[in-house]
A and B are shown apart, each in its own frame.
Chain A
Amino acid sequence: MEAKSRRNAVKLAESDAGIVGRGQPRNGQCGHLRIENAGKIYRSRGAAVTAIDGCSLQVPPGGLYVVVGPSGCGKTTLLNAIAGFDTLTAGEIFLDEELIAAPGRALRPGPDRIVVFQQGALFPWKTVLDNVTCGLVAQGRVPRREAEARAVSLMGRVGLQGIERQYPGEISSGMRRRVEIIRALITAPKVLLLDEPFRALDALTKSVMHEYLLELYDMERKTVFFITHDLEEAIFLGDQVVVMSTRPGRVKKVITIDLPRPRNHRMLATERFLALKREAIEAVHEEALKAFEAGERELA
């Protein structure tokens, strides 16, 4: 127990150096994510379902990788394994060469890899400010007042001032997503795991959120592992777009997105963007068809 907290303290002290918005892009030393032959077989009512199988991928420190694939291809399974919410049945996952997931290993979610959820998980009973500071406070890294000062200044810098005392239910859904991302970033995780975070937003809000996310990313250059099934979103945001095959999920194709950063919405109409999109559509469509047919078979 004590040893664990000491280890955490050391780890956190290191990562404390990276609180968002220092202004210096930190093409980081930390946040190297390595997935080796990850596999997951779910057993439910006697039937075994292979969600992912032999899935390997490396995300370099500071990389923004977007994983796309049809529903049920195991994207979320992979993310849950990285986050420490669910076990693997094969393979290993390392974060900065530290083993974080392997079969039979106890689940240990932690502040070095923070998840932003599809449906949003701001605590409705805490004010926006308490939500943003709760990570720092729970980890006992800084006194509450200092955490609050940091949160207010960070939120002010990204145009979220004035909502600190409100409850999440009182602000717009776009703002909620932004606050949730800030809540994750302020604790300086090594890697940010985004599970279709903008899925529930309307198209216009979504495009604003994309630029907003990129702005935060360019500030800090954290390692980001983003999953979605929106190809345009994937290409616009990512360094690499990782196309996963339908069940069992494994990496089918990695498309390098050579669009320059900083990016903005005008890029969505450029030749290069469209060419990349064509390439991605080719790869994904084939898998979507397979998934669809498999689904039809299951129903028949």
Chain B
Amino acid sequence: MSAVGLTVRSLTEFFRSTILTGANLRGLTGVAVLLAVMEVAGPLGIPLLEKVPRFSAVVDRFIEPEGLLWREKYWMSWSVSLMRIGAAFVAGVLVGVPTGLLWGSSRRLKALGFPVFEMFRPISPLAYLPVAIILLPGIEVSIIAIIFLGTFFAVVINAINGVFQVDLSYQRAALSLGASRRDIFFRIILPGTLPSITTGATIGMGISWIELVAAEMIAGRAGLGYLTWESYLVGDIPQVMAGMASMGLGGAVSCAVIWHTGRLLTPWLEDYRGR
């Protein structure tokens, strides 16, 4: 619906109706307040916050003559991190969705694999790193594998719950209408679970960024997490903040992309929930 609408509507109207919405303006207000507090906390001597670098100092790190924006290393960090996240996320979804759907729809398979899964899930990604480095070929693969786990866990859990939430009467109605087992899986369970898969993938994307940094800080030689850690080691706190801001922005944007892609795949939800 919205895709067609976009091409038809004029750009200004798109801007007014989609960008300048009340929700977006309120969101911007929230960000502005945060940045303002950051800016004045030092000069005003607000306890705890006074040591936080001023917002303008962080912005300076980006735009000053030798700033991050003009350094190839900064953009390399982005591309290295995005590659890792992209590869891990795609793999996590590709493996996680079928696993979750199978475990959700077959009690036996779930009984077989789920306990193992649950034992691995709570282990921190940092704890996997030594094992991954020993077992897997190369640091790069290890980092990707650790990010993969985060996405995989989130997608599987949500997909299983999604299958459970597909109302039994849909399956019964489909059987009654002459659907085969295959139809039930692909035409009932899969679309019925899609909203939960979207949720899982969005959460998974967020977790990817968290794990990315952990992995890069310990094992990386490049990437946004490495950049942040390196800045800390040389005592450049504004640049630490700049690295954090970059990751925050990257995480927020990539999660939003996943979320909206999910919404495009589930157009019926728009009106079903009156949103």
Q: Give the interface of A toward B (CB within 8 A).
A: 8, 83-85, 109-111, 113-115, 117, 119, 121, 123-126, 134-135, 138-139, 167-170, 183-184, 187
Which B residues lie within 8 Å of A134 (CB)?
174, 177, 179, 187
Contacting pair A169 B179 (CB below 8 A) = no
Q: Does B176 contact A (CB under 8 A)?
A: yes
Q: List 19 A-B contacts (CB under 8 A).
A: A83-B172, A85-B175, A111-B176, A111-B178, A114-B177, A115-B173, A117-B173, A119-B167, A123-B170, A123-B174, A124-B272, A125-B194, A134-B174, A135-B177, A135-B178, A138-B179, A167-B268, A169-B269, A170-B271
Contacting pair A115 B178 (CB below 8 A) = no
Which A residues lie within 8 Å of B187 (CB)?
123, 134, 138
* Least Cβ–Cβ distance between B174 and chain A, in angstroms: 8
Contacting pair B178 A121 (CB below 8 A) = no
Contacting pair B178 A123 (CB below 8 A) = no
Q: Does B267 contact A (CB under 8 A)?
A: yes
Which A residues lie within 8 Å of B18 (CB)?
none
- Band of interface residues on B: 20 to 34
* Least Cβ–Cβ distance between B166 and chain A, in angstroms: 10
A168 to B188 CA separation, bound complex (whole angstroms):
15
A119 to B175 CA separation, bound complex (whole angstroms):
17
Enumerate the 9 nearest inter-chain pairs by beta-carbon distance, A residue then B residue, closest first.
A169-B272, A135-B177, A139-B178, A121-B173, A111-B178, A125-B191, A167-B268, A109-B175, A121-B169
Name the residue of chain A whose CB is nearest to the CB of B175: A109
Name the residue of chain A whose CB is nearest to the CB of B265: A125
* Least Cβ–Cβ distance between A179 and chain B, in angstroms: 12
Which A residues lie within 8 Å of B267 (CB)?
167
Contacting pair A85 B177 (CB below 8 A) = no
A134 to B175 CA separation, bound complex (whole angstroms):
11
* Least Cβ–Cβ distance between B238 and chain A, in angstroms: 49
Contacting pair B177 A167 (CB below 8 A) = no
Contacting pair A110 B169 (CB below 8 A) = no
B258-275 to A contact mask, C-beta < 8 Å, 1/0:
000000001111011100
- The listed residue with most B CB atoms (<10 A of its CB), out of A117, A168, A183, is A117
Which A residues lie within 8 Å of B192 (CB)?
125
Which A residues lie within 8 Å of B194 (CB)?
125
Name the residue of chain A whose CB is nearest to the CB of B180: A138
Contacting pair B179 A119 (CB below 8 A) = no
Which A residues lie within 8 Å of B175 (CB)?
84-85, 109-110
Name the residue of chain B whose CB is nearest to the CB of A115: B176
Pick the contact of A169: B167, B170, B172, B268 (CB < 8 A). Answer: B268
Which A residues lie within 8 Å of B183 (CB)?
138
Pick the contact of A125: B167, B172, B178, B268 (CB < 8 A). Answer: B268
* Least Cβ–Cβ distance between A223 and chain B, in angstroms: 15
Given the known interface contacts A109-B175, A167-B268, the answer about A121 and B180 at a Cβ–Cβ threshold of 8 Å is no
Contacting pair B272 A183 (CB below 8 A) = no
Pick the contact of A114: B176, B266, B268 (CB < 8 A). Answer: B176
Which B residues lie within 8 Å of A8 (CB)?
178
Name the residue of chain B whose CB is nearest to the CB of A108: B175
